Structure 1
Amino acid sequence: METKNWLLLTYKVPAEPAKKRVALWRRLKGMGAVYLQNGVCLLPRTDDHARRLKMVENEISEMAGESVLLETVALDQAQENKVIARFKADRDEEYVEFLGKCKDFEAEIAKETEANHFTYAELEENDVDLKKLQSWLEKIRKLDFYGANLADEAEQRLKHCEALLDSYAQRVFDAHDENQ
């Protein structure tokens, strides 16, 4: 198996203002970083991640903090598997949340169908909600570096939501057909 290289960022920033510390944590999590412990995180080694982490390193300096950015590999296959499992677990948490929102979307379509509420306004609202789901899944996919377990289920669930909205849209169009 090919050895995976990671970028390891260790940092220490002042406790106050907490707002800056939290913003830094959010930024790193938003890049898909896995935290091994407070102030120690990993990302797969890519040129994009290296560039972005160098910018984070600069931010940490501006916050009067300290950081070290290293390229590293796991000591053995078992350690590498542990790290990959952490990345997958983080993404699966996001997929679980996404799947919950898909369930909400499906329930909303079912409710409107049950009530025979086939309006353009409702269709537009549901279309906006579906676009949010599509965008959200795309963001999760971009951070799913190692193929999390729930990735396929999330993809299929989104397709189901898209099909539901298509079916609902057809019912709206039928209900408003001027030729009837």
Structure 2
Amino acid sequence: MVTLAWLLLTYKVPPEPAAKRIALWRRLKAMGAIYLQNGVCLLPKTDDHMRRLKMLENDISQMGGEAVILETVALDRSQEEKVITRFKVDRDEQYREFLGRCADFENEIAKEIAINKFTYAELEEEDTDLKKLQGWLAKIKKLDFYGATLADEATQRLHACEALLDSYAQRVFDAHDENR
């Protein structure tokens, strides 16, 4: 069995200004960290995470706070699974939100088709929305360290959105050819 190593960050920062504390929390969540409790978070041990945590440690110090970064492993397989499950749950929350946005995208195109709105301006808007979905999924996947359960569904749903936009684009092109 390969033992997984994690980086554990514990920190304490002054309550004010709240904006700095919130920005710190956002940066850690953007890295894919899970919180074990307030001021205690965990990331898989990678060189990138180590470097970024060291930079955060410096930022915390400049905020008048204190931080400690430790390398740790789980006591046993059961504890390791609890941690992995937490990572997966966090990613699945993000995938669920992503899937909801895919549904919004699909509904928007269905609405445009229903009212026969086949314009280049609308196609461009939908293309921009699809690019946002593609970028968002890429960000989630980058933080999906342990293979969350909804990863495949999210990928398939994005492919369906891409196919839907291709189909809509063809209808826009056809509509403009008819108008010539």
How far apart, CA to CA, are the structure 2 residues paired with 1:108 and 1:15? 43
Q: Deviations over 1:71-119 (max 9, x none)?
A: 0000000000000000000000000000000000000111111111111
Partner of 2:129: 129
- CA distance 1:179–1:111, shift in 2 (3 Å): closer
* Deviation of the 1:179 alpha carbon: 8.3
- Where do 1:1-180 residues align within 5 Å? 1-177=1-177
* Aligned-partner residue type, residue 98 of structure 2: F
Partners of 2:166 and 2:153 in 1: CA distance: 20
Shift of 1:39: 0.1
Residues 177 and 127 of structure 1, relative CA distance in 2, 3 Å threshold:
same
TM-aligned CA distance change 1:113 to 1:41, over 3 Å: same
Counterpart of 2:147, as a letter, is: G
Structure 1 segments of 4 or more deviating over 2 A?
none
Where structure 2 has 5 or more consecutive residues not aligned to the other structure, the ranges are: none
Q: How many residues align?
A: 180
Inter-partner Cα distance in structure 1 for 2:77 and 2:33: 20
Q: What one-letter code is carried by the residue in structure 1 that aligns with 2:107?
A: A
Separation in 1, partners of 2:179, 2:10: 67
Q: Give aligned-pair identity as a percent.
A: 78
CA–CA distance in structure 2, aligned partners of residues 75 and 81 of structure 1: 11
Larger mean CA deviation between 73-82 and 170-179 belongs to: 170-179
1:13-70 deviation per Cα after TM superposition (whole angstroms, max 9, x unaligned): 0000101000000000000000000000000000000000000000010011011100
Task: Report the Cα distance in structure 1 between the residues aligned to 2:123 and 2:63, rounded to whole angstroms.
Answer: 47
In structure 2, what is the Cα distance between the partners aligned to 1:53 and 1:179? 58
Q: Give the partner amino acid of 1:97.
A: E
Q: Please give the secondary structure, in 2, of the residue aligned with 1:176.
A: helix
My pick for the range that moved more, 35-44 or 170-179, is 170-179
The alignment yields a C-alpha RMSD, in angstroms, of: 1.0
TM-score scaled by structure 1? 0.98
